[in-house]
Structure 1
């Protein structure tokens, strides 16, 4: 992914089928001890603006669209932790996000 972190907030996040899922409200880093290759974004979804965390591994920015390799159902069932303070997820939160998207067998 080649977009600058500050450029992501306010953008729409697109699912693997290229349809928009929600608007990015925050960008988070993973703790360094996890050695995860990307980070996660918080997105607001639906009329009630539910917030979900989306892992950015293998995300692509093409023609200004940020697309992740996950379907809408996976994204909208993702963990949500509120309130979030700072720009780095706790190790526990980060592990739950990584496990949701990549499974327990996925190395983090």
Structure 2
């Protein structure tokens, strides 16, 4: 990954089919125990009914414009949403939920 994650905020994100999903509004790191240095992006979409979901960035093309992830739009729009996150690192249980949603099971430490 050559693009620093803080430079992703404000960029568009598209799904595995190249369809626009929304805009990256924040980047969260996973707890160190997950050994997942890529983190997760908060992606906001919608005009009238705005919604934000967390998108796992594993295997994402962060250098592409827009950022492209290997997930379908449906997977992204049904992902966990935690409206009151504090800080830049996900809590253990939030991180486990996001990883399980995208990859089928929480990644062991």
- Settle same-fold status: TM greater than 0.5: yes
SS in 1 for 2:18: coil
Where does structure 1 differ by over 4 angstroms across 4 or more consecutive aligned residues?
Answer: 105-108
CA distance in 2, matches of 1:106, 1:30: 11
Unaligned stretches of 5+ residues in structure 1: none
Q: Measure how far apart 1:37 and its partner are.
A: 4.0
Task: Pick closer, same or farther for the CA change 1:51–1:105 going to 2, 3 Å.
Answer: closer
Length, aligned pairs only? 108
Once the two structures are overlaid, the 10-residue window that deviates more, 88-97 or 41-50, is 41-50
Establish whether residue 41 from structure 1 lines up as the match of residue 41 from structure 2. yes
Establish whether residue 57 from structure 1 lines up as the match of residue 49 from structure 2. no
Partner of 2:96: 95
CA distance in 2, matches of 1:61, 1:32: 21
* TM-score using structure 1 length: 0.91
Q: Which has the higher strand share?
A: 1
Asked if the contact 2:27–2:88 (Cα under 8 Å) also holds between the matched residues in 1, the reply is: yes
> Per-residue displacement from partner, 1:8-41 (whole Å, max 9, x unpaired)?
0011111001111010000000000111242000
Q: Measure how far apart 1:106 and its partner are.
A: 5.3
